[in-house]
Amino acid sequence: METLMLSASDPKTAATAANLIMNGQLVAIPTETVYGLGANGLDEAAVAKIFEAKGRPQDNPLILHICGAEQIELFCHHIPQKAYDLAEKFWPGPLTMVLPARDCVPKRTTGGLATVAVRCPDNAVTREIIRLSGVPVAAPSANISGKPSTTTAEHVRHDHDGKIAAIVDGGSCRVGVESTIVDLTEERPRLLRPGGITPEQLLEVLGDLVVDKAVTAQIDKDAVVKAPGMKYRHYAPSEPVVIVSGSRETAAAYIRAHFEPGDRVLCFEEELPLYEGCNPLSYGREADVNTLSAGLFAALRELDDPAIHQVYARCPVGGGVAYAVQNRLKKAAAFHIVDAEEEV
């Protein structure tokens, strides 16, 4: 099939994309986090196409994208007040909530779970597409499963050209990492995935937050976990990635001592002069963590090259949005971390 490229600034785009979704087709949609591969979330056959196009494991559930908090009750039940408090504060925005699912949500969408994830994205065209289609749009990140997420329309075209009906080009994604996911189905709210809405921001509204173990450690592929997506290999270029922690100078000394031809260094812009001759690639400025989250996946995609043997990566420290960047980079590295301070 020919994949239509639709511009977000063309006033006809929302109607064209909504029609395709109503007809059971796949449409890639821009959001503030990453590009999503969207389909009618209530149509099992349409949702099946998402899994097929991505090569996504069947038990990895999808997020339903909706127009606003008033739609939560259409797809969820037993909704606690704190869900509305979070929506009030952070929607439209990079926050997904997991709630008990109504029967109208197919098991294919929820990966067989009794719960469903909902989010209202901060992108005007995408919200208009959802509104015009009249259905919740199920959309995971538009990358091939296991690969770094798509943060430009060009990334989506690289992975899906000829396989999906259309791509809506809305430019580069502002946040650059997938949404924060919080599970509200238990007594205590649980962080399943860090993202653009930080743990600190959630705590301010919720007063309490448990961090799921899937956020901080590698999960066995056979494990039963609250965040099924988190147990799979994620965000990874084809070659091994190792994170080197420690001060700028100590890390650079370690990396330069181990660097071999064919290796690459993924670092902060401020560090580029330290890696002359080591083919460094910067993904943003350490002094502005938002540039790191926005640039991470494009950089990981650039490094997804079979000619590269090994990537040495530098990771920001601290909380806030840095916490989400650490999570994605650690997953790309399969939690392989060397502390340069202990190696010297």
Query: What's the min distance (Å) between Cβ of 223 and ligand AMP?
Result: 13
C-beta nearest to Mg ion: residue: 141
Beta bridge partners of 40: 137
Query: What's the min distance (Å) between Cβ of 12 and ligand AMP?
Result: 28
Q: Which is nearer to ligand AMP, 150 or 282 (by Cβ)? A: 150
Binds 63: which of Mg ion, ligand AMP, none (CB < 5-8 Å by kind): ligand AMP
Residues of this chain that interact with Mg ion (CB under 5 A) are: 141
Token output for 105: 């949500």
Asked if 192 touches ligand AMP (CB under 6 A), the answer is yes
Beta bridge partners of 337: 243
Query: What's the min distance (Å) between Cβ of 207 and ligand AMP?
Result: 22
Contact positions with ligand AMP (CB under 6 A) in 21-80: 60-61, 63
Nearest to 280 by CA among 256, 304, 247, 250: 256
Q: Which is nearer to Mg ion, 141 or 152 (by Cβ)? A: 141
Q: Which is nearer to Mg ion, 59 or 343 (by Cβ)? A: 59
Tell me the C-alpha distance between 196 and 258, whole Å.
Answer: 34
Asked if 117 touches ligand AMP (CB under 6 A), the answer is yes
C-beta nearest to ligand AMP: residue: 229
**R_g (Cα) of the chain, nearest Å:** 20
The order of strands in the sheet holding 280-282 is: 280-282, 264-267, 311-313, 241-245, 337-339
Report whether 119 contacts 96 (CB < 8 A): yes
Residue type, 322: A
Query: What's the min distance (Å) between Cβ of 140 and Mg ion?
Result: 5
Q: Whose structure tokens read 């943060």?
A: 151
Contact positions with ligand AMP (CB under 6 A) in 210-229: 226-229
Token output for 320: 């806030």
Binds 168: which of Mg ion, ligand AMP, none (CB < 5-8 Å by kind): none
Tell me the C-alpha distance between 224 and 13, whole Å.
Answer: 41
Q: Whose structure tokens read 């469903």?
A: 116
Query: What's the min distance (Å) between Cβ of 160 and Mg ion?
Result: 14
Per CB under 6 A, which region of 8-16, 19-27, 107-115, 258-266 contacts ligand AMP?
107-115
One residue of 181, 197, 251, 281 binding ligand AMP per CB under 6 A: 181
End-to-end CA distance of the chain: 56
Q: Which is nearer to Mg ion, 141 or 293 (by Cβ)? A: 141
Nearest to 205 by CA among 299, 117, 95, 129: 95
Nearest to 272 by CA among 263, 264, 280: 280
Query: What's the min distance (Å) between Cβ of 175 and ligand AMP?
Result: 13
- Give the residues lining the site for ligand AMP (CB under 6 A): 60-61, 63, 98, 110, 113, 115-117, 140-141, 178, 181, 192, 226-230
